[in-house]
């Protein structure tokens, strides 16, 4: 009885030792984390010399070339592999990553779409496509892709360290706005916002805004937290506190629930997104509650159309509560693209919309607003947006507004 037990024990020790022995892929990952590209390529080249026809080894070489920034060589390697194995989704996924880092949006989306066609159930392919959408400035479409019911991703084991993927976790935006009135002095405001995507499930936002109106200055700080639930959308909660000086809300609280749906049986409508939110504004002499519902339709050729409804409950210290409705519609469309840059625009119309940022612009007028905007994607990291609007109010009053923001991702 002793010999069989000893034999089994020795077999277990041998198997355990085999599990502890690192593979050459582990060595490549370790060197990639240390950014020792020369040593990583040397290991892959050694394995290629042993098995020249092994496409998996060549795929690893293409990945290391991508991580090290040798994008032209990586692209050539991926094309050579596809000549032998044209239906491997991992190769198309890797080629899409190369195109994305080169700023070639059309080729990147085409490669990632091909990978998704070959393996529709792969979560990491959908995540890669969403990352490309976000990098090329299609934030709404990226959010729709992220909100889909995806299985747990296994991209790490295939593509290597997250830090090497080239995705941007943070976005810094700075903006300025101006309002001109036919019945009062002009207003200006400026703001700085930092959005951080810590994981695919958690996002934070922090902003600081300054207002100047009729010689009176006010400042506000806003913070928010977003949790994305696979298959169940995203929930955002937040609040704001201000040094109001009587011209902006003293405190605010809000939440939004966002759910996206991708449609497969219609060519006219690619998907839709529904957002519901509530926002509380506390002024020194008034309390405002708004309830908002917006539906965003994703149309062919990157067009979008949104419809929004808002119900606002105003309660002043010397009067009763009163509800007022308002609505808005917006049409977004691409304009042109060149050398990796993309220009898009939108037009919108709103009725009954009021500006709850200022105390004397709530609960006292009806209006119709006409306007439009544009967004220029300069690179995968930078973009500029702008807008202009004209508002006709009751009592023969009018307001003209314009503004722009600059964003950088890192």
Q: Between the CA of residue 409 and those of 110, 209, 380, 386, what are the distances in Å?
A: 24, 20, 8, 18
- Among the listed residues 202, 203, 220, the one whose alpha carbon sits nearest the alpha carbon of residue 211: 220
CB atoms within 10 A of CB 65: 24
pLDDT of amino acid 111: 87
- Using CA atoms, how far residue 87 sits from 21, 117, 119, 278, in Å, is 32, 10, 10, 48
Place of tokens 């207003």: 187
Q: For 121-154, write each residue's pLDDT tens digit.
A: 777 777 777 777 766 666 656 655 555 543 333 3
Residue 369: strand pairing partners: 350, 391
Sites in the chain below the pLDDT cut of 70 = 1-22, 134-167, 264-267, 317-320, 340, 353-365
Reported pTM: 0.63
pLDDT at position 137? 64
Closest CA to 374 of 357, 355, 360, 387: 387
Report the pLDDT value the prediction gives residue 342, as an integer from 0 to 100.
83
Q: In the prediction, which pLDDT does 291 show?
A: 95
pLDDT per residue over 91-118, tens digit each? 888 898 888 887 787 788 888 888 888 8
pLDDT, residue 340, reads 66
| Per-residue confidence (pLDDT) for residue 142, from 0 to 100 | 60
pLDDT of residue 155: 35
Please tell me the predicted confidence (pLDDT) of residue 163: 35
Q: Which domains does the chain have, with CATH numbers?
A: 2-164 (1.25.40.10), 170-409 (2.40.160.40)
Long-range contacts made by residues 307-312, C-beta under 8 angstroms, separation at least 24? Answer: 310/353, 312/288, 312/354, 312/356, 312/362, 312/363
Which residues, at least 6 apart from 381, have a Cβ–Cβ distance to it below 8 Å?
168, 408, 409, 410
CA 396 to chain centre: 41
Cα 118 to Cα 159, 278, 353, distances in angstroms: 18, 42, 47
H-assigned helices in 21-122: 24-33, 37-50, 55-67, 71-84, 89-101, 105-118
Q: What is the pLDDT of residue 49?
A: 84
Closest of 239, 246, 235 to residue 224, by C-alpha: 239
């Amino acid at each position: 009885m002793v010999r069989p037990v000893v034999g089994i024990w020795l077999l277990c020790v041998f198997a355990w030792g085999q599990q502890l022995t690192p593979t050459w892929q582990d060595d490549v990952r370790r060197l990639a984390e240390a950014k020792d590209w020369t040593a990583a390529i040397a290991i892959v080249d050694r394995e290629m010399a042993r098995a020249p026809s092994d496409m998996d080894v060549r795929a690893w070489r293409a990945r290391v070339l991508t991580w090290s920034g040798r994008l032209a060589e990586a692209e050539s390697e991926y094309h050579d592999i596809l000549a032998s194995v044209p239906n491997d989704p991992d190769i198309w996924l890797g080629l899409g990553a190369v195109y994305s880092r080169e700023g070639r949006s059309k080729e990147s989306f085409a490669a990632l779409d091909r990978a998704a066609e070959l393996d529709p159930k792969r979560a990491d392919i959908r995540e890669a496509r969403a990352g490309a959408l976000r990098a090329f400035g299609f934030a709404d479409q990226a959010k729709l892709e992220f909100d889909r019911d995806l299985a747990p991703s296994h991209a790490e084991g295939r593509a290597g360290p997250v830090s090497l993927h080239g995705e941007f976790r943070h976005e810094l935006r700075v903006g300025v706005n101006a309002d001109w009135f036919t019945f009062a002095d002009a207003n200006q405001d400026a703001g700085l916002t930092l959005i951080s995507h810590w994981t695919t499930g958690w996002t934070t936002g922090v902003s600081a805004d300054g207002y100047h109106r009729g010689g009176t200055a006010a400042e506000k700080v806003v913070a928010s937290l977003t949790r994305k639930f696979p298959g169940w959308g995203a929930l955002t909660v937040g609040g704001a506190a201000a040094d109001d000086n009587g011209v902006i809300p003293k405190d605010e609280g809000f939440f939004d629930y966002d759910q996206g749906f991708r449609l497969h049986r219609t060519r006219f409508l690619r998907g839709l997104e529904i957002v519901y939110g509530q926002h509380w504004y506390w002024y020194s002499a008034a309390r405002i509650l708004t309830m908002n519902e917006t539906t965003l339709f994703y149309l062919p050729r990157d067009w979008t159309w949104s419809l929004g409804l808002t119900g606002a409950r105003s309660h002043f210290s010397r009067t009763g509560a009163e509800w007022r409705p308002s609505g808005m519609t917006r049409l977004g469309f691409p304009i042109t693209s060149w050398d990796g840059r993309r220009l898009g625009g939108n037009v919108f119309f709103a009725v009954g919309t009021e500006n709850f940022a200022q105390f004397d612009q709530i609960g006292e007028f009806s209006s119709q607003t006409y306007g439009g905007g544009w967004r220029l994607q300069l690179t995968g990291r930078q973009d500029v947006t702008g807008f202009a609007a004209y508002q006709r109010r009751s009592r023969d009053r009018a307001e003209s507004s314009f503004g722009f923001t600059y964003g950088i991702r890192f």
